[in-house]
Amino acid sequence: MRNGVKKLTVCGLMTALCLILGYIEHLLPLTLLIPLPGIKLGLSSIALLVLLLTYGPAYAYGVTALKCTLSALLFGSVTSLAFSLTGGLLAMTAMWLLTVAFGGKLSVFGVSVAGAVLHNVGQLAAASVFMSSAAVFSYLPLLALAGTVTGLATAAVTSRVLHLTGYDKE
Partner 1 sequence: MKTKLSLKFKARDAFVIAAALLIAAAVFLLTLPKANDGRLYAEISRNGEVLASLPLDADAEYIVNGDYENVVTIADGSAFFSSATCPNGDCVHAGRLTKAGQLAVCLPNGVTLRIVGAEAGVDAIAG
Burial-class residue 133 by CB neighbours within 10 Å (0-12, 13-18, 19+).
Answer: exposed
Q: What residues from 128 to 147 belong to the interface with partner 1 (CB under 8 A)?
A: 130-133, 135-142, 144-145, 147
C-alpha distance across the termini of the chain, in Å: 22
- Report CA-CA distances (Å) from 65 to 74, 122, 124, 150, 160: 14, 14, 18, 21, 25
Per CB under 8 A, 37 contacts partner 1? yes
Per CB under 8 A, 109 contacts partner 1? yes
Sign of CA dihedral 37, 140, 83, 18: negative
Alpha carbons within 13 A on the beta-carbon side of 59: 21
Residue 93 to residue 104: CA distance in whole angstroms = 18
Per CB under 8 A, 165 contacts partner 1? no
Q: Kindly write out the interface string for residues 55-84 of this chain, putting x where it contacts partner 1 by CB under 8 A and - elsewhere.
A: ----------------------x-x---x-
Per CB under 8 A, 127 contacts partner 1? yes
Nearer to partner 1, 16 or 145 (CB): 145
Which of the stretches 1-9, 62-70, 84-92, 97-105 binds partner 1 when contact is defined by CB under 8 A? 97-105
Cβ at position 50, least distance to partner 1 in Å: 11
Amino acid (1-letter code) at residue 47: A
Binding site for partner 1 (CB under 8 A): 29, 31-32, 35, 37, 53, 77, 79, 83, 98-100, 102-111, 113-114, 117, 127, 130-133, 135-142, 144-145, 147-148, 152, 159, 162-163, 167-168
